[in-house]
Structure 1
Amino acid sequence: MKKAFLVVALAILSLSMVFAAGSKEEGSTKGQYVIKTGIGYNDQSLQYKTLEFMKAHLEDATEGVVTMELYHSSTLGDDLAILEGLQLGTVEMFCGTIGPASQWSNAVKLFDLPFLFTSYEEVDALLDGPVGQEVLDSLKPAGMIGIGYWENGFRQLTNSKRAVRTPEDIVGLKLRTMPTPVPLATFKLLGANPTPMNFGEVFTALQQGVVDGQENPWETILANKFYEVQKYATNTGHVYSPFGVIFSQKFWDKLPAEYQESVREAVFAARDFNRAKARESEQEIIAELSKYMEITILAPEEIKPFQELTRPVYDQFAEEIGPELVQKAIDFLENL
């Protein structure tokens, strides 16, 4: 009887050890791969809410094996600092305005060309297709793995001096632009005095009168309360500036294939969430901004003079960006 009891006890003990080992092993995989990322915008922005959506989706899909640490309000530095962090391996993911990545790839400057896109349908088709992927792949030599694009939106013009309805209204305005060459050339052609500046400095520069205006998507203008220091806004839509979703190759190469696929799926799910929310709310955002600003809505024919004046930018930068890539993008959009 004692012998039988001992056998049963030993069996129970063995099973307990197996289950305990299994639980320990399972627990040790939680948070095994951590994706740290940060943005310049605040935690009320759609960009941050998109990151929260991706975090929930990814952590659920991987049962917590892959987790995300999110930072906002430039806690990790500006976009350029985070891109440099990808190379160093101190940051795993970038999801900011792709423009600053032109320091490593001239192909990125394709999206700076003025009036390349005229609709969201064109945006989605090109970004999610082979041309968009070619731009992302151009970052591989710099140790960056580009996965996709999120919505940043068409950039609109604001200033504190006067309503802008014609190109002549831009002449003489001191405008903050992204610190990349194409926007500088574009606004010089329009007669402005463009000033390159990192995003985190923009509000203070506007407030102190260092610059008269800036250009950013509607959602960014609202989320960052630029209306507090800007009186006028115009729907120039001169550039569609996407958020690039890019990973550190050092991190990516350590990630097993199954989790690489989970990350891709989470990026694309967040992209769809992001675009839908941004486009649904665009008119609501304009209506909200109109409470504080004088909004000028230009008809398509009123935008044509701006397009014509800035077209020489294509010739100026085609060689630098890559003539074949520029022509490929133009042909693709014309044939949609």
Structure 2
Amino acid sequence: MTRKYSPVLVGLAAVALMFSVAACSSKEAEVITLRGANQFDKNHVFSRTLFKFEELVKEYYGKPVNFEFYLNSELGLEKEYFAYMSQGVSVDFAHVSPSHMSTFSKAAPLMDMPFLFRDLDHWNKVLSGDALKPITDDVEQKADVKLIGFSGGGTRNITASKRITTIAELEGLDIRVMGAPIQTRIFQAIHAAPTVIAYNEIYNAVQTGVIDAAENEATGIQQMKFYEVGPEISLTQHAITVRPLVFSGKTFRRLPEDLQAAILRAGREAGEFGRETEAREDHATLLQMEAEGKIRTHEFTERAALLRLAAPVKEAYANELGVREVLARIDAVK
């Protein structure tokens, strides 16, 4: 039996089919893409932390979401990533050193200050709690960038051409420091003689006797082969790195609420992953170099004295930044 259909009904069915296809296409087109950037290759701990962030977001969101990664400085450097995120263009999330936030937030560089943390346990407790909340609020308000997690964990020590274990042996030590003025002030306070030298000139400067020492994390010592000219590692533990995982505020506000919640949860947990991983690998690298005979490590027997000498400089710097109460919150963490 042949069925006959009204031309009107056929037309309506065709229109309905068109709308159905269009709706499906529109739904597919609505899959959100988030863009992450990093200065390093895929094996670096920062990259692995971003990949962990992706994994956790997808798990907690439970809906399709795309991630694009731009590694090896493909989109520039951290300072540029932060500017992009503030503008809501090109980069949605990345790791950014606190010093690169200073253009927007005067308070942020406190997180880079030497002797801010008593030890690794204190550092981890501070980053796991809310002691830094006034800084994160300031960055979000002034830069429109959210600090959603805290990575880092490289412990910086002195690498020298001679053994240094006491304040007396540190006295007048010609040591290379980074360009931030607080670095010079802190090392002057602990009786060293700091000099600002470009990073790529450290090796030759120690080798030729221009300086006697530098300071760095284990990974930096290994990668730059500083152990060849400064094999004596003094365990001053004067800084433990903080590398916030940050997310563009403008991008965040455009996202569905359930994705926002997933991002905040994933950022916190990815930060924990990054801290545990970097701290563990940093220590392992130090042990590896010592086992290979490349370095000799020495306990700094008067580390408590270093903390006392640095304290007035830390307080003065916190006052300059307007974050004295934040320093007090950090010091209060037990």
Shorter-chain TM range is 0.7 to 0.9
Q: Deviations over 1:270-326 (max 9, x none)?
A: 122223323443442222122253232315x43123223322212321311322222
1:145–1:245 CA distance, 2 compared to 1 (3 A): same
Partner of 1:50: 49
2:309 paired with 1:309 = yes
TM-score, normalization: structure 2? 0.80
Residue 121 of structure 1 deviates from its aligned partner by: 3.1
What code does the residue aligned with 2:146 have?
Answer: I
- Distance in structure 2 (CA, Å) of the matches to 1:266 and 1:313: 36
1:52-107 deviation per Cα after TM superposition (whole angstroms, max 9, x unaligned): 222333345454424232313x4433332332333333432231322332343232
Unpaired stretches in structure 2, ≥5 consecutive residues: none
* TM-score, reference length from structure 1: 0.80
Identity %: 19
Alpha-carbon distance, 1:242 to partner: 0.6
Note the 1:95-244 alignment, pairs <5 A: 95-139=95-139, 140-159=141-160, 161-170=161-170, 171-177=172-178, 179-189=179-189, 190-195=191-196, 202=199, 204-209=200-205, 212=211, 213-222=213-222, 226-227=226-227, 230-244=230-244
Q: 1:275 to 1:92 in 2, by over 3 A?
A: same
Asked which structure has the greater CA Rg, the reply is: 2
Counterpart residue type for residue 27 of structure 1: E
Runs of 4+ in structure 1 deviating by more than 6 angstroms, as ranges, are 4-7, 9-16
Q: Cα deviations across residues 214-272 of structure 1 (Å, max 9, x unaligned)?
A: 43333444456554664332221112221012222232232232222222222122122
Matched position secondary structure for 2:235: strand
Identify unmatched segments of 5+ residues in structure 1. none
Q: Is the 8 A contact 1:108 1:135 kept in 2?
A: yes
Structure 2: distance between partners of 1:68 and 1:216? 32
Instruction: Work out the CA distance in 1 between the residues paired with 2:227 and 2:252.
Output: 40
Change beyond 3 A, Cα 1:66–1:180: farther
Moved more, 219-228 or 109-118: 219-228
Aligned twin of 1:295: 296
The 10-residue stretch of structure 1 (86-95 or 130-139) with the greater mean CA deviation from structure 2 = 86-95
Q: Which amino acid aligns with 2:268?
A: F
Residues 180 and 196 in structure 1, CA contact (< 8 A), matched pair in contact too: no
Report the number of matched residues.
Answer: 322
Cα distance, 1:169 vs structure 2: 4.2
| Equivalent position amino acid for 2:51 in 1 | E
Q: Distance in 2 between matches of 1:196 and 1:209?
A: 8
